[in-house]
Structure 1
């Protein structure tokens, strides 16, 4: 194996370790979407990632998010965080200032490190002091918060705090918004159903 090939294998191994651990965490949520996400995360990823590492402005808080990991899952993520392909969130439909506060990476999905046309699973960064405006999409969605407490509103209910280790479940086309105050948030997310991003609306 060439040096480049060995390097890609190490990257893939680190990502696989994280995704296997994430599969076990997600499986604790007793829903069909969680079962589908868990199965996709635990599937054999024998090929190296198809996207090169990339960052966007909101990724400047990655070192803060990856420092002093408090869980085994975060420790595994820290080992592969430099290999992820980050992009702007919101399919081009969010206000311009969102680029400084929001970033998304897709691990599995149509535009992902590991291609899959039927499901999207990734990570979301939301910087501190930001209101991710109310939005909705055709896909059913599940979040697992990995770090940082954020305030979630579903439908028109008041924003309530959601801490690391907690899940947030959105039905198809169910409006929701996320507010961070004095700390950033990192969360794992998954989409099932109609995963075409064209339905995303703010």
Structure 2
């Protein structure tokens, strides 16, 4: 019994002295080319449902790259791909509807069963420190349009050796699009046209 208590106290002491590896310090960014972390990059979308509630879903498994020079941050370049087929919602019925095949002779209400990946390629970044605006070409449902996101630096640093020891950098971003502009106008205006985007973007090298 005493041994178990001593082990528990040792674990608590170790946790109390542990340090979070990431820091909100731009000096921790060494620069170069980073790969998107597909397990920790999330694109959350929210739209109005019948005027009663907001409804949120998620795209994950994002791949791509970020190239950044801390001395010239406005020259950063981002190119990421989002697998639409892996869309996640809290409703199996809604997820099935999003990926439902077209009715005979028509088009799918939303994406269909084998949707093309979405892609965002940056064209301009304007930043002054930890926040900025990022403009790029967004290809979604076969339509390419420019969109602008508000971005903020979240943190950087290296993971512990037992977790790979890779350099990480993370950002948050927000923006809005109109789904009807990407050929996804099903249900408008009963189901909202404006889609709010909240993005957690993680990169490693």
Give the TM-score of the pair, scaled to structure 2: 0.27
Who wins on radius of gyration, i.e. which is larger?
2
Report the structure, 1 or 2, having the larger strand content. Answer: 2
Give the TM-score of the pair, scaled to structure 1: 0.27
Q: Greater relative contact order (Cα 8 A, min sep 6): structure 1 or 2? A: 2
Report the structure, 1 or 2, having the larger helix content. Answer: 1
